[in-house]
Amino acid sequence: MFCRIYLELMEIEILFEDKDTLVINKPVGLVVNRADSVKDKTVQDWIEDRLGDDFFQYDDRVFRQRSGFCHRLDKETSGCLVIAKNPKAMNYYLKLFKKRKLNKEYVALVHGRVEPNEGTVILPLKRSLVDREKWQVHYEGKRAETSWTVLNRYKYNNSMHWKNALTYLRLNLKTGRTHQIRVHLSFLGWPIFADEKYLNKDLIRRDRELLSHHFLHAEQISFKSFSGKDVKIIAPLPIDCEVLLKSMVSD
C-alpha cells in the first residue's frame, strides 16, 4: 500500500504520449533504473506501475529488463526521457538512437567564458582508470561528439580560476556516451555548475549554496515517432535553475 501511494505522489510531467510512446520530463534527483545500490523508488517503478497489465503482458526479455527505456539520464540530470510502451516501439527507437536519427539538445550552465560562440568537440571516452564512477577522455575510448552554442554569459565572483565567469550553453549530442557532456566540457576547462563528480570540492560547495544539483537539462528531443508522426518536444527548465539564471548578472 505504501509503495502504491508513493508512486502516485511521484511528480513526473508527461510531455508527449500516444499508444506506443511516452516522453516525460524526468525530475532532478530521480534515478531511472532500479539497482542494488538504489534504495528509493525509480522511474522504472513509476512506469511499470502506470502501465500495469499493459506492460506485463509482454514477455520480451530486453523490453522487460529495460522497462521500455530507450535511453537514460543521470540522477541529477532533468529533462526529456523517451519510453516505449511495447517491444516493437522500443526496438524502433533503439535503432533511431543507434543511427543518430533522434536529435537531442541539452542546456547547461558552465564555469568559464566559453569561446568561440559555436564549436564541436570530438574526443573518445572510457571509464576512469582511477574512479569507476567517473569517465575520462582516453585514446582507447569510444568516439564521442558534442557541439555547443553560447546562449548567454554571466558574472560569477566565486570562481577566479575561471575568470569569474559562467556561460549558458545549448549542446547537441551526436553520440550518447555516459557522462559525455560532463566529461567533454570539463576536459575543455568548462565544468558544469555544481557538478559533484567533475569539479573541485571547494567550488562544488560554493555552487551548491545556490543550486542543489548540477545544471544540466535535456531540454529538447525531436524524432519521427513509431506511428510515423514528426515530434518535437521541449521540457521546461527546473524552477530552481530558472531562478538561478534570473539572479545572475549578464556579462
Active site (annotated) includes residue 74: yes
> Contact 156/110 with Cβ under 8 angstroms?
no
Element (H, E) at 56: helix 53-56
CA 72 to the chain's CA centroid: 7
Beta strands (DSSP E) in the chain are: 13-17, 21-26, 78-84, 103-111, 118-122, 125-127, 135-137, 145-155, 165-173, 216-224, 230-234, 249-250
Q: Check: CB of residue 56 under 8 Å from CB of residue 17.
A: no
Q: Which of 20, 45, 74, 207 is catalytic?
A: 74
C-alpha distances in Å from residue 157, one per residue of 87, 160, 161, 171, 178:
51, 7, 10, 25, 31
Burial 105-138 (b: 16+ CB within 10 A, else e): bbbbbbbbbbeeeeeebebebbeeeeeeebbbbe
For residue 25, the Cα-to-chain-centroid distance in whole angstroms is: 10
Active site residues: 74
